[in-house]
Structure 1
Amino acid sequence: MQRSTFLKLRVSLDEAERFNARAAALGVSVSQLIRDTALHGAVYVTLEKAQAGYEFRRLGAMLKHLYPARDSRWTAEDRKKWWALINELRERADMLESTASGGKDKAVGLVHAG
């Protein structure tokens, strides 16, 4: 989509510095930060697939430690769903890491802009 229309936004010097810092931290332009936040409530960023795979693997490892082993309220079906989620995270991490080719492949995701 071609973007040819400009919107004017008046901000203080401090606010401009905060926009620039936040955009730099996310690796996006200030325009993308403002546009995505206003339209979607979050910023779309790209990660190298290897990095995205690492993050999936890290998330799975964190969730694994929250497994309620001694909680009698969990049914066998609940436990199966839990481990299916952990295994899916591992499979996605493997897939992302195996398809990364020299850092050129990208995965897209949402990041809260707050």
Structure 2
Amino acid sequence: MQSSPLPVADPTRNATRQDTEQATQRPPQKRVEIRWARDDYQAVVHKAQACGLTLSAFIRRATMGRRITTLTDQTAIAELRRLGGLLKHLYPKQAHWTAQEKKRYWAGYEQLLEVVKAIERRL
């Protein structure tokens, strides 16, 4: 009996949320066919692509009430966190800034953190 070769992971491909989702859940066992109007089908495919999910994964998440995050939101959160980290390094350790300047700096930094938290809550 000849065994089938194991799939080889592509080292150039990053793991996606879809890969993680499939690894942590039971494997799908039932197949469902759905009839779509052409426009509705295209809209759902577009939404799935915007989230970086396959059509099946997107529909499963939507119907089961699970979180669906667009790639744009994920990218925005990551970028805002990166900017916040860089901004923290710009704060002078010496007393060259006036108290007013320091207060404005920290107010801006806290606003940035609030934006990140607001986006995360919306997800």
Give the TM-score, by structure 1 length: 0.41
- The structure having more radius of gyration, on CA atoms, is 2
Greater RCO, CA 8 A, separation 6+: 1
TM-score norm. by structure 2 comes to 0.39
The structure with more strand, counted as a fraction of residues: 1
Structure with the higher helix share, 1 or 2: 2
